[in-house]
Structure 1
């Protein structure tokens, strides 16, 4: 008789959302202040337990709404990875499935659920140790940042931080904020506009710095879904970040 297999472990599953945006040329992450234990009063990523019969993406959107007041998912949401279940929650084994949200700046309407407060914080304050996050959320944030940096190299998702139409200077500011470096404006303009299937000129102009007109661009059709969101298109050649 073959030996019986051990019974599978049972433990709760949660979702956490790393929402990133760029405002005033600064990369920011959406954090909540926890209202309940564990880690009451500490900053954390928005998230919570997955409900019975709920898929992961739906749970991520629901938690974002409940804890920040934001209705819907205002940008590009994708699954980042799973963490745990052992050793990450003082209440016991809990598996979390983290999601990455790249979005234009959106107002945080109100905190709710088990969140006392919700706001955007500079990512640098977490990386420098000025802000301490609950659970293993700093590790999740670091992984999300690396994913975002890579996404900007090989996909059109840099535009997910912008509105429907944007200038090359606005798009360059996104790349600079996410990559944490300065880029040569002329070189970036040449690469961004010369990469097939990435951008298209709208034919419209806006008033830029010092009153200079600037051309407005949008994602090319190949890089958009029907809803206008970036897809898993691949930039060829990629826009590679400068290496140290």
Structure 2
């Protein structure tokens, strides 16, 4: 019987200085020594998959507390790990305002890096982590279409311009300001006006909003409809 291993890998995304960034570690040991990789590692024989994901995230980056993980998918191509047949369960986290990571255990370094660097091929990822990252980014982009997730990355009170900047960072494209404003302000329960204004966007004062109470945007704010 062929022996195989089970691992967990994590796609942790945040927005920093207007850019979509991903948490990565520099591998300390072979295979792919010195390469960037997603945080992750082996699942213990008596360990739950989610517990293993949180443990690896904490051990390799010192980040973990308060991070909500959702399962992204499973990856089991025979060639994905040169050490032997390995099936990994990938997890996704979308987190606002995270601290700088600190490398630990089998990582030489841990850092937030721009997603654009990996999407362009400027920075390769070890194993099949490029494929996993691509799937995680697409899941995050889709979540902004049908959920109010983007508002979680804004201050408690924010302008439509600040909210649009979140969508642009995650979707990786510029949006039409008027079309976007109309969509989000006419989506029942998405935004709640505060009655106050701010000039944080520059120019004339803009209305301030807080996040509404709905959990699902209906109709969704689709990427194609904003271009």
The answer to whether the superposition gives a TM-score over 0.5 is yes
How many Å separate the matches in 2 of 1:71 and 1:20?
13
Partner of 1:77: 69
Partner of 1:235: 217
TM-score (norm: length of structure 1): 0.83
Shift of 1:179: 1.3
Q: Is the 8 A contact 1:103 1:162 kept in 2?
A: no
Q: Which structure 1 residue ranges, 5 or more long, are not aligned?
A: 1-6, 224-233
Q: RMSD of aligned C-alpha atoms?
A: 2.2
How many Å separate the matches in 1 of 2:5 and 2:154?
36
Partner of 1:157: 149
Find out whether 1:61 has 2:54 as its counterpart. Answer: yes
DSSP-derived class of the 1:209 partner: coil
Alignment of 1:1-244 (within 5 A): 10-74=3-67, 76-84=68-76, 86-210=78-202, 213-223=205-215, 234-242=216-224
- 1:167 to 1:210, Cα distance in 2 relative to 1, 3 A: closer
Shift of 1:236: 0.5
Q: Is the 8 A contact 1:85 1:96 kept in 2?
A: no
Shift of 1:99: 1.0
Q: Which structure 2 residue ranges, 5 or more long, are not aligned?
A: none
The alignment covers a number of residue pairs equal to: 226
TM-score (norm: length of structure 2): 0.89
How many Å separate the matches in 2 of 1:73 and 1:173?
24
Shift of 1:131: 0.3
After superposition, what is the alpha-carbon deviation per residue over 1:143-194, rounded to whole angstroms, capped at 9, x for unaligned? Answer: 1111111111112222343344433222211111121211122221221122
Q: Is the 8 A contact 1:38 1:90 kept in 2?
A: yes
DSSP-derived class of the 2:214 partner: helix
